[in-house]
């Protein structure tokens, strides 16, 4: 499978709190399923700050996380692009980009696979830097390292731009 970087996501949280380093936050955290290929960057970030998050639930989908938050099961940590205007009625969003690094979303497809025109169009709409020429180069790569080398020379666009996360309702 070839994986191409799509764009960095900026984390948002549905409510804010402050915790002292080395303490438990006392907040039940709901977030995405952690990495299957090694330590999670979220765990690493909390460990570096000597914080011990109480992750009570994980989900693969931001809508599931938002539902758990609406049910009062905890505080949700999701990508800012997962926030929708309709969420303002039931969730409070706080931009957390100053606390969490951006994470790159990846698009995967089978290496060497023939991509139909609609696939090229979809990938380009999703991430304008993924043009046909670049995707053809990706398809000809024999390893993920070769794919990564193609993207080293590119600046992957950030969407939304830092500082423009959508905070629909603040407390």
Q: At 167, list the tokens.
A: 């905070």
**CB neighbours of 30 closer than 8 A, spacing ≥ 6?**
55, 56, 57, 58, 59, 65, 68, 69, 73, 74, 75, 76, 77
Per-residue model confidence as pLDDT tens for the chain (171 residues): 344 444 445 445 444 344 444 445 567 888 887 665 666 677 777 788 787 778 888 888 889 999 999 988 888 888 877 888 888 888 888 877 777 777 777 788 877 778 889 988 988 888 888 889 988 888 888 888 998 898 888 887 765 543 444 444 444
- Cα separation, 121 vs 141, whole angstroms: 21
Beta bridge partners of 24: 52
The pLDDT score that the predictor gives to residue 84 is 85
Residue with the two structure tokens 């905890």: 74
**CB neighbours of 23 closer than 8 A, spacing ≥ 6?**
51, 52
The pLDDT score that the predictor gives to residue 35 is 62
The pLDDT score that the predictor gives to residue 162 is 38
The pLDDT score that the predictor gives to residue 127 is 83
Domain residues of the chain, as ranges?
7-103
**Burial zone of 78 (CB within 10 Å; 0-12 exposed, 13-18 middle, 19+ buried):** buried
> Domain 7-103 adopts which CATH fold?
D-Maltodextrin-Binding Protein; domain 2 (3.40.190)
SS3 assignment, position 17: coil
């Amino acid at each position: 499978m070839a994986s191409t970087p799509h764009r960095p996501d900026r984390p948002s949280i549905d409510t804010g709190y402050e915790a002292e380093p080395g303490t438990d936050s006392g907040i039940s955290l709901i977030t995405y399923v952690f990495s299957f290929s090694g330590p999670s960057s979220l765990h690493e970030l909390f460990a570096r700050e000597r914080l011990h998050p109480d992750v009570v639930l994980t989900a693969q989908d931001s809508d599931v996380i938002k539902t758990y938050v609406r049910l009062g099961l905890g505080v949700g940590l999701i990508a800012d692009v997962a926030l929708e205007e309709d969420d303002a009625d039931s969730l409070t969003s706080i931009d957390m980009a100053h606390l969490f690094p951006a994470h790159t979303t990846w698009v995967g497809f089978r290496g060497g696979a023939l991509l139909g025109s609609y696939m090229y169009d979809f990938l380009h709409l999703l991430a304008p830097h993924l043009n046909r020429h670049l995707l053809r180069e990706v398809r000809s790569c024999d390893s993920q390292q070769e794919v990564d080398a193609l993207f080293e020379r590119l600046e992957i666009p950030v969407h939304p731009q830092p500082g423009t996360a959508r905070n629909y309702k603040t407390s």
